A and B are shown apart, each in its own frame.
Chain A
């Protein structure tokens, strides 16, 4: 017997996981870079 699964539910879930993970990675990388470079400039100015 073949299960009747709604394929679009799986497609949406896969893209939500993938794009969500990518957005978190990008946000974290950007914030870490900005924070480190701002700190470097502050210490240079002091």
Chain B
């Protein structure tokens, strides 16, 4: 993992991996959505509204998976001080929040014809809403620490503590009474008919690739912004150095070392 710590090496990989993930994800997701909308039969109980499954479930899994990614990156930052781990965590935050919001919105739209209500304050929906707020808090914290010059460790600790919510979301339908159905897919078993399960798995794979492509876009943007800032700072120090030391260009180096 540490061989990718060099941003130059990482950018070399991201340059070809990002379009590959993005376009393959787009093709797979579009195929799965077309499959789910036009080729899958209506469900016996839910009717045509079952087609919302193919966008709602991938969004839910990626909303939770995104926070798991933030927690793993935060642990890597705190334990190994991996320089790209903090950037990866920051890059995951906005896509993770958008996927969580899509999950909540599509779930609400699905709830109306299925349960007869847009929203209930049960364990699953509430813990998912808490995840959305955690993402918003994490993004605000990262922005505040980078603006005020605070330590990246603060956001990393928040990322780790927030991971407590992930098993709560997962087990909420087992621990508490809920309108939401119990887990349909568990390790090695599935209660979903293959006619729905196959396009669902294709949709999950497609949206996951798309998510990966978007995260790489965000990482490239964050690295480029950091490089611009570092270069401008170095230039400002170089310009100040001759005036302060009066010894020409070489005087800038000790000043940089001390900064």
Contact = CB atoms under 8 A, between A and B. Distances in A.
Contact of B220 (A10, A13, A33, A43): A33
B105 interface: yes
Given A22-B210, A25-B94, A39-B224, A10 B231 contact: no
A32 B221 contact: yes
Contacts of B42: 7
Interface of A: 3, 5, 7-8, 10-11, 13-15, 17-19, 21-22, 24-26, 29-30, 32-33, 35-37, 39-40, 43-44
B51 A11 contact: yes
Contacts of B231: 40, 43-44
Interface stretch (B110-118, B164-172, B245-253): B110-118
B217 interface: yes
Given A7-B113, A43-B232, A17 B106 contact: yes
B227 A40 contact: yes
Interface in B1-55: 22, 33, 37, 42, 47-49, 51-52, 55
Contacts of A35: 221
Interface SS majority for chain A: helix
B116 A11 contact: no
Interface of B: 22, 33, 37, 42, 47-49, 51-52, 55-56, 59, 94-95, 98, 101-102, 105-106, 109-110, 112-113, 116, 210, 214, 217-218, 220-222, 224-225, 227-228, 231-232
| Leading 8 A-B pairs by shortest Cβ distance | A36-B224, A7-B48, A33-B221, A18-B55, A29-B217, A14-B106, A7-B49, A14-B109
A3 B102 CA distance: 26
B116 to A, nearest CB: 7
Contact of B116 (A3, A8, A30, A44): A3
B93 to A, nearest CB: 12
Contacts of A22: 98, 102, 210
A45 to B, nearest CB: 11
A24 B56 CA distance: 17
Max chain B Cβ within 10 angstroms of own Cβ: one of A8, A22, A26: A22
